[in-house]
Amino acid sequence: MKDANFGPYHIRKWFQHYEETLANETGKLADGEPVKKYVLAAAIHNPFANSYSDDLSSLIEYSPELGKEFGRRIKEIAGENDIVSYGKAVLVGAFGEYEHGNAFLTNPAADPVREAVGGGKSWVPSTGKVGAPGAILDVPLAHKDALYVRSHYDSIAVSFNDAPRNDEILVIWAFATRGRLHARLGGLKAEDVKGENGLV
């Protein structure tokens, strides 16, 4: 067993990624502020690698503290930029199960992140898979208060050069400061969000 350094977890490495899009794919300049996207990820040792267990509660129990750390980090790197969209994902190393990764995406882990970005009424879109270092994963993004805001359906492609190792789980969160540039597919507008039920 690897030595714990974050509660019961052994975190080998933190990753941070930032991108800023000033124009869309055809070169049309942003309709307002650029799209700013942030990605945070933690490479965590998987104590269930190469084994099966009916009880994965030990992965979940301390996950709220991990969520608080993701929340602290996004507030630090985003600074004064408001976060309006979010998403989460996992990449599980080859010796683990996808289910092991999903243990880090439950509500106990997500609620502190919601709180850190000013609350979030809608559920957090998520994805994941078992993969090797360098695997590409598209992390979905959606409006944090109303899932039906079409302009904020988005994603960010991520890849990590040395994670996950076979006995690791890579927990990933992504954030954005606005919807897509020149979104023009109709539907509920962000400025009309009621933020009552997570849908509208």
pLDDT tens digit string along 175-189? Answer: 999 999 999 999 888
Q: What angle do CA 147, 150, 153 make, to 5 degrees?
A: 75
When pLDDT is averaged across residues 46-57 and rounded to a whole number, the result is 96
CA distance 89 to 162: 17
Mean pLDDT of 86-98: 98
Note the pLDDT tens digit of each residue in 52-65: 999 999 999 999 99
* pLDDT tens digits along 104-116: 999 999 999 999 9
pTM tops 0.85, yes or no = yes
The CATH number of residue 34's host domain is 3.30.1330.110
Tell me if 173 is assigned to some domain: yes
SS3 track for 29-90:
ECCCCCEEEEEEEEEEECCCCCCCCCCCHHHHCCHHHHHHHHHHHHHHHHCCCCCCEEEEEE
Of 71, 9, 18, 74, residue with least CA distance to 43: 9
Q: What percent of the chain has pLDDT over 70?
A: 100
Strand 35-45 versus strand 168-176 pairing type: antiparallel
Question: Which residues form the domain of 27?
Answer: 11-180
Average pLDDT, the chain: 95
Q: Is residue 53 part of a domain?
A: yes
Residue 166 forms part of a structural domain: yes
- pLDDT above 80 (res 13): yes
Residue 88 lies in a domain: yes
- Total number of domains constituting the chain: 1
Amino acid identity, residue 187? Answer: G
Can you tell me the distance from the alpha carbon of 149 to that of 189, in angstroms, rounded to the nearest whole number?
6
